[in-house]
């Protein structure tokens, strides 16, 4: 595994419309004839994606399956990691389905919808019209009798929840950066019969020693905001690097 493969560059998740190939503002004028149909291979569009953004709310569920890390030191974004190599997702099978025993991040469940900022701070609904689930002959239209359909409304409410949690996650990241808690780390493993450990990944995470050394009043503030538990869930998740290695080995058989 080369250094370029083991690193988790933030360029992989850059841009507000990450994974959205053709995002358009949802309007009756442009999309009245369009809607959703269940895709035969619903997660094919992320088969080669090894990291997606995660919100603080999701840490409890995600930490059971994935390493939860940060994109970088300067402008950190929490990421769920799905593979060890570039363009690798170990949780999407050959049929384009996600492992049914593992958590699917909200960012993926909201697709093909998202919220985007307009001038003046207003939020607009965006739809990825290039998504496999979007068509001109849909099972679930975006609009019915000129109004947002029930199915569309449910997805929009899910996106609204994600946007609320994204903003809270931004405050969490601002606090982590303010307290100077982040540090670059390395995940390693020692193959059977080897005498030296080998690199699995280079990544950014919270420094557990710095967290433990925080003043009691700061710890109390983090606790009451709900951020302290998220920090420890993140640290627990780092055990999953070896689980990714085991999954990769099992998939290669």
Percent of the chain at pLDDT above 70? 87
> Model confidence at 1, in pLDDT bands (50, 70, 90)?
very low
Of the candidate ranges 54-58, 117-121, 242-246, the one whose mean pLDDT is the lowest: 117-121
Q: Is residue 71 in a domain?
A: yes
Q: Is residue 253 in a domain?
A: no
> Model confidence at 192, in pLDDT bands (50, 70, 90)?
low
Q: Is residue 250 in a domain?
A: no
In terms of average pLDDT, the best of 104-108, 120-124, 159-163, 242-246 is: 104-108
Q: Is residue 252 in a domain?
A: no
Q: Is residue 85 in a domain?
A: yes
Distance CA 51, CA 53 (A): 7
> What domain range includes position 63?
3-245
Round the CA-based radius of gyration of the chain to a whole number and report it.
20
Q: Is residue 123 in a domain?
A: yes
Q: Which of 136, 132, 134, 68 has its CA nearest to residue 96?
A: 132
Output the six-digit token pair for 208.
């557990």
Q: Is residue 251 in a domain?
A: no
Answering whether pTM is above 0.85, one says: yes
Instruction: Tell me how many domains the chain contains.
Output: 1
Q: Is residue 112 in a domain?
A: yes
């Amino acid at each position: 595994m080369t250094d370029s493969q083991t690193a988790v560059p933030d360029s992989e998740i850059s841009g507000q419309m990450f994974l959205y190939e053709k995002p358009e503002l949802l309007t009756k004028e442009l999309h009245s004839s369009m809607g959703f149909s269940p895709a035969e291979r619903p997660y094919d569009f992320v088969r080669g994606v090894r990291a997606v953004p995660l919100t603080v709310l999701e840490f409890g569920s995600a930490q059971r399956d994935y390493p939860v890390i940060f994109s970088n030191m300067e402008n950190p974004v929490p990421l769920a990691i799905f593979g060890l190599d570039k363009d690798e997702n170990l949780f999407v099978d050959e049929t384009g389905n996600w492992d049914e025993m593992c958590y699917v991040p909200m960012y993926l469940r909201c697709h093909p919808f998202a919220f985007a900022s307009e001038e003046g701070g207003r939020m607009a609904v965006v739809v990825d019209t290039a998504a496999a689930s979007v068509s001109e002959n849909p099972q679930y239209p975006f609009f019915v009798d000129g109004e947002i359909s029930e199915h569309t409304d449910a997805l929009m409410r899910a996106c609204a929840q994600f946007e609320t949690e994204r903003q809270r996650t931004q405050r969490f990241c601002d606090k982590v950066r303010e307290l100077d808690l982040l540090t670059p780390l390395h995940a390693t493993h020692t193959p059977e019969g080897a005498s030296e450990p080998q690199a699995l990944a280079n990544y950014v995470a919270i420094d557990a020693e710095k967290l433990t050394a925080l003043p009691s009043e700061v710890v109390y503030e983090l606790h009451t905001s709900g951020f302290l538990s998220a920090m420890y869930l993140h640290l627990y998740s780092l055990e999953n690097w070896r689980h990714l290695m085991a999954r990769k080995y099992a998939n290669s058989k």
